[in-house]
A = this chain, B = another copy of it.
Amino acid sequence: MNPVTLAIDAMGGDRGAIVVVPAALKLLAKYNDTRLILVGDETIVQRELQRAGGKVSDRLLIHHASQSVAMDESPTQALRSKKDSSMRVALNLVKAGEAAACVSAGNTGALMATAYFVLKTLPGIDRPAIVSLVPTRTGNGAHMLDLGANVDSTPQHLLQFAVMAAVLASAVHGIARPRVSLLNIGHEDIKGNELVRETARLLTSSGLVNYIGFVEADQIYAGTTDVIVCDGFVGNIALKASEGVAHLIKKIMREEFERNLLTRLAAVVCLPVLRRVGRRINPDHYNGATLIGLRGVVIKSHGGANADAFLAALERARLQAAKNITAQISQEVSRLLNQTEAGSA
């Protein structure tokens, strides 16, 4: 892959540089074709760099930023009063072409608003969306969007999301024509709300993606589709509900294994198995959602990510930058523009 430079918001997330810096060093050790620019308070970043046994080099630069965006800060507030925030400066580096991608574990709303303001959307894209890889039984995972950037989306928006996610899935999984589905409450054409039915008509008539029809939410993790498209409200609910159930099952299992001495012994015996199960459904592997539709690669890490989870987000950014996802998407979207007015709406 082409060598890439990533701009990293070193102050973002619940623990900022304490998590970001060690993850950055792990990435550099893993890929010698990658350069990193750590953006944030120079003294703090330096301190964490020393603590983690790393140092500035031609592959690891520090770019000072005097401000940082709080996790609970309002997007408009951040946009107005944090012009020198680590988040904003990292995005500026992407806009200036000094970095191919930006990674931040900061405040989602602020990142979305600032990225939208700094980078703007690609021609033909009305709104950026949040797309993430979700685990599937087959192991490859599926790309799902929108996960909360847009509520009350229109069919044209969902069509744009589908086109963009198909390009991403194709590049990431190396499949020519990813299977694209619409999330709905039934398979039949008559099922669902006006939004999905109209979007289904659009997807079919446009012929831009390999649309395979409606998928019900219990099939999200079945591996029967590569791309799952839905409104941001619905996508966010589906993903959070899934997290809720995983937590419920985890808590019940812990309770039952801690019930008494016998169950505790049983736990010891099957710990290796349970560990492997845990690794396979470990959300850390899937950390790093893409803010898709912008003029540059922007990856949002979970705010509570640990170093390994943040590393996964960095690897996602590196892959998408190296594969030049942005150019691929804008090329595909131009085909959309040529055949429909949706993009210019």
Contacts and interface: CB of A to CB of B under 8 A. Distances in A.
Given A244-B217, A245-B246, A269-B269, A233 B234 contact: yes
Given A151-B193, A219-B244, A237-B234, A266 B270 contact: yes
A280 to B, nearest CB: 5
Interface of A: 135-137, 148, 151-152, 183, 185, 192-194, 216-222, 230, 232-234, 236-249, 251-253, 256-257, 259, 263, 265-267, 269-270, 272-273, 276-277, 280-281
Contacts of A185: 148, 151, 232-233, 236-237, 240
Given A221-B247, A237-B241, A249-B281, 5 more contacts: A151-B193, A152-B193, A217-B241, A252-B281, A263-B272
B241 A135 contact: no
Max chain B Cβ within 10 angstroms of own Cβ: one of A248, A253, A269 = A248
A166 B176 CA distance: 51
A241 to B, nearest CB: 4
Given A151-B192, A233-B193, A242-B241, A248 B221 contact: yes
A222 B243 CA distance: 11
A161 B188 CA distance: 26
Contacts of A280: 252, 256
Contacts of A193: 151-152, 233
Contacts of A234: 233-234, 237
A267 to B, nearest CB: 7
Nearest to A222: B244
19 contacts: A137-B251, A185-B236, A217-B237, A217-B240, A217-B243, A218-B241, A218-B243, A218-B247, A221-B244, A221-B245, A222-B244, A222-B247, A233-B234, A234-B237, A249-B249, A252-B277, A257-B270, A266-B273, A270-B270
A2 to B, nearest CB: 35
Nearest to A190: B74
A266 B266 CA distance: 8
Contacts of A194: 152
A246 to B, nearest CB: 6
A278 to B, nearest CB: 10
Contacts of A277: 249, 252-253, 256
Nearest to A183: B237
